[in-house]
Amino acid sequence: MADIAFHGDPAVKAQAQERLHRHVAAGTFVYFPAWENGNANVIGAVVEADDTPLYAQTLGYPVALAETLPKFVNDGFGEREDAAIFAEAWLARTPVGADLSRIVSQLVVELLDDVELVETIGVHPDLEHCRAEIVDLHRRALAGEMPDRKAWKALRLKAVAATDAVGDAPLDRQAGNVVEAAAWPGTMRTVLRDTLTARSSFGLTRALAEVGWTMEKEGQVFRIREKAEKDGYKAEFSGLERLLAILDADHPALAAGFRTRLERMGQSSEQCRAVAWRAIELMETAPIVASVPSPASVEA
Provide, rounded to whole angstroms, the least separation between the CB of residue 182 and other proteins: 9
The one segment of 118-126, 174-182, 244-252, 259-267 that binds other proteins by CB under 8 A: 174-182
Instruction: Evaluate the CA torsion angle 249, 251, 253, 255 in order and state its sign.
Output: negative
Q: Which is nearer to other proteins, 155 or 246 (CB)?
A: 155
Positions 37 through 66 that interact with other proteins (CB under 8 A): 52
Residues 61-80 that bind other proteins (CB under 8 A): 67
Q: For other proteins, which residue of 102, 189, 206, 261 counts as binding (CB under 8 A)?
A: 189
Label residue 134 left, alpha or beta by phi (over 0 means left) and psi (-120 to 50 means alpha). Answer: alpha
Q: Is 156 in the site for other proteins (CB under 8 A)?
A: yes
Residue 177, interface with other proteins (CB under 8 A)?
yes
Q: Are 134 and 158 in contact (CB under 8 A)?
A: no
- Region of 154-162, 229-237, 269-277, 289-297 interacting with other proteins (CB under 8 A): 154-162
Q: Which stretch binds other proteins (CB under 8 A): 20-28, 92-100, 178-186, 289-297?
A: 178-186
- State which residue, 184 or 258, has the beta carbon closest to other proteins: 184
* CA nearest neighbour of 268 among 197, 212, 219: 197
Alpha helices, DSSP H, located in 169-251: 170-181, 191-210, 215-231, 239-250
The C-alpha atoms of residue 185 and residue 190 are separated, in whole angstroms, by 10
Binding of residue 272 to other proteins (CB under 8 A): no
**How is residue 288 annotated by DSSP?**
B
Calculated CA dihedral for residues 77, 18, 41, 75, nearest 10 degrees? -20
- Cβ at position 134, least distance to other proteins in Å: 11
What is the DSSP code string of 117-153? HHHHHTT-HHHHHHHHHHHHHHHHHHTT----HHHHH
- Which residues bind to other proteins, rule: CB under 8 A? 52, 67, 149-150, 153, 156-157, 159-160, 177, 180-181, 183-184, 188-191, 194, 198
